[in-house]
Structure 1
């Protein structure tokens, strides 16, 4: 059967349609890709301020750096007065002049972060002392001669002890007074153990004279003096730590 020219064109066109049918899938694919790109761009814009803040945080100094800065401008770490005691287990030897009991052995034992026990053995008696370290003061909370064995405390019991008196007060300011004690700082003092040039001197008037105590921020107590009104003096000075002193 013969087809006209028009019929042949229609027939070929129909055949082409069958071979390459039109579809909307490519347009849908392009639309999906475009939507994804747009969403990604929007998300990037949304997150940019947060990312910038995180980057800025990374440039800030760490806590350690801040702590260092605080120390440089005078701010002190927690319990700075801990430094005015010797290390746990240290045995210090003091040489005395003016009295047979002026020489003594001092043993330090840390009971907790803010409680320290000091035993003083002068050959005639052993005295047990317990100190409480506060943020702004060192308090003597227990002082007794050991008869048979030293007294033991739980932390709860230590917390219940009243302050007998204050040993040091923070901040250290020369000329300040507390509990009828006066502060002189800094003070030089020569001992058989070493020469000190940055000591705290605590002075107090007592019956018959005046007491002076000298403290170092690494070695703790390094000397005691009792100067009587008549000029006589009893002195104890640090001679060695953790080994008996060499005496001539």
Structure 2
């Protein structure tokens, strides 16, 4: 069984780094809707003043491209393109070398909703405003208040002032969100003005070293 665990983890990590989608279809929307409907944010401590923080600042500007250095998995190396052609909507195309995943986000005052994430082959299309207006949330990407212990969907904020080393630069004041399961932990590191600068998946195997897969920001073209 121990020998099978790394293979299982590689599959789980691949799902994280490729957007957890099926070919040509969205993720399980009913499950995500149930998660988001119950994710109003748990009470927490050790917060900071976030009144001056805009949720839109957790994405790169329109037309930006970024490259992430990957370690531990062939799908951890990423290229992303950002489109912000319509107010309050962000479309990101993420290429992991095996597929291109299109994410659609809606920016609200204190929440970033996930509206869609599908594999799109090689076509990097952007939905029309009418199409995005008709989309229903399938999950929550990020939610205020930025306080340790606040939870949304399967994620929990575990740090609001982290230092993150990446090939691109050293970031301060990163927000770290975490998803935990029995045998693995997924983390995302988000920085105002950039959004995600690092992803990390860690599998704990009894009697062995942790198996780690990471994507770290290396290049940005704004």
- Scaled by the length of structure 1, the TM-score of the pair is 0.64
What corresponds to 1:213 in structure 2? 188
Q: Which residue of 2 aligns with 1:165?
A: 139
Superposition map of 1:190-229 within 5 A: 190-206=165-181, 208-229=183-204
Which one has the largest radius of gyration?
1
CA shift digits 1:65-121 (9 cap, x unpaired): xxxxxxxx86447xx100000011111010000011110101111131210011111
Deviation digits for residues 168-209 of structure 1 (CA, Å, limit 9, x no counterpart): 102211221222311121111100111012000010124741
Kindly provide the CA deviation profile for residues 198-226 of structure 1, in whole angstroms up to 9, marking residues without a partner as x. Answer: 00001012474111001110111100001
Asked if 1:126 is matched to 2:97, the reply is: no
- Return 5+ residue gaps in structure 1 as ranges: 1-72, 244-248
* More strand per residue: 2
Match of 2:217 among 238, 241, 245: 238
Contact 2:91 2:102 in 1 (8 A): yes
Q: Within 2, Cα distance between the matches of 1:122 and 1:161?
A: 25
Moved over 4 A (4+): none
Higher helix share: 1
Out of 110, 129, 149, the position equivalent to 1:175 is 149
Unaligned runs of 5+ in 2: 1-48
* Displacement of 1:135: 0.8
Secondary structure of 2:189's counterpart equals strand
3-state SS, counterpart of residue 57 of structure 2 = helix
Question: Deviation at 1:149?
Answer: 2.3
2:129 to 143, 152, 155: 155
Separation (CA, whole Å) in 2 of partners of 1:144 and 1:207 = 27
After superposition, the CA RMSD in angstroms is 1.9
Task: Give CA deviations for 1:116-157 in whole Å, capped at 9, x if unaligned.
Answer: 011111111111111111111111111011135245422122
TM-score (norm 2): 0.71
Question: d(CA) in 1 for partners of 2:104 and 2:128?
Answer: 12
1:136 corresponds, among 103, 110, 125, to 110
> Partners of 1:191 and 1:157 in 2: how far apart?
36
